[in-house]
Amino acid sequence: MKKADIAEFYRRLAERTPDPVTELDYVNDYTLLVAVVLSAQATDAGVNIATRDLFRTVRTPAQMLALGEEGLKRHIRTIGLFNMKAKNVIALSRILVEQYDGKIPADRDVLQTLPGVGRKTANVVMNVAFGAETFPVDTHVFRVANRTGLAPGKNERAVEARLEKETPPPWRNSAHHLLILHGRYVCKARRPECWRCVVIDLCRFKPKTPPPAAEVRARQT
């Protein structure tokens, strides 16, 4: 995709969603980190349901340690891989208490040393909590970047590198949210809703999906 088209691509997404933010519920940097760790291979909506009660009383690493692994499991057992995730959250909470005075380090490399925190999770925390220009690549971002031709790549790191190189200001900070929301609600995996896509003419996806019959009838009335 040409530079001018990339800029227009982001401009249109930003015009449609002027203030894109994460859909994960959190109350501070620590609960954000926990929520992102829990969201691996799970939906944001599912994580929000599981953490609704949890984050009312647990908002610091020390409080999480007091709750304990079994107590945490009782809150998150509806989330996939909850046993391993509970183990990781307790382990990272202990490290935060013992080595970082309970605070979240504003360093991507350090974040990635915490149990259960990979590059994508670290990128999300750096972007949302600290305003860093990072480009987390989840399944939605990967799909949109490749399907549209915005930032094609064979793997997540390749797409991340392409996004980081090609994304112009002023959209570098919000690019992740713009792309994930577009992928979640419009450029869907099985049936992209091309008929209501604001960047349809810039997209390289050839088999544009037509609107369903109900949508056609609604437009004709």
Residues labelled as active-site residues: 120, 138
Which H, E and C letters describe the chain, residue by residue? CCHHHHHHHHHHHHHHCCCCCCCCCCCCHHHHHHHHHHCCCCCHHHHHHHHHHHHHHCCCHHHHHHHHHHHHHHHHCCCCCHHHHHHHHHHHHHHHHHHHCCCCCCCHHHHCCCCCCCHHHHHHHHHHHHCCCCCCCCHHHHHHHHHHCCCCCCCHHHHHHHHHHHCCCCCCCCHHHHHHHHHHHCCCCCCCCHHHCCCCCCCCCCCCCCCCHHHHHHHHC
Q: How far apart are CA 176 and CA 179, in angstroms?
A: 5
Q: How far apart are CA 12 and CA 56, in angstroms?
A: 37
- Give residues with Cβ within 8 angstroms of 165, minimum separation 6: none
Q: How many CA atoms lie within 13 A of 218 on its CB side?
A: 5
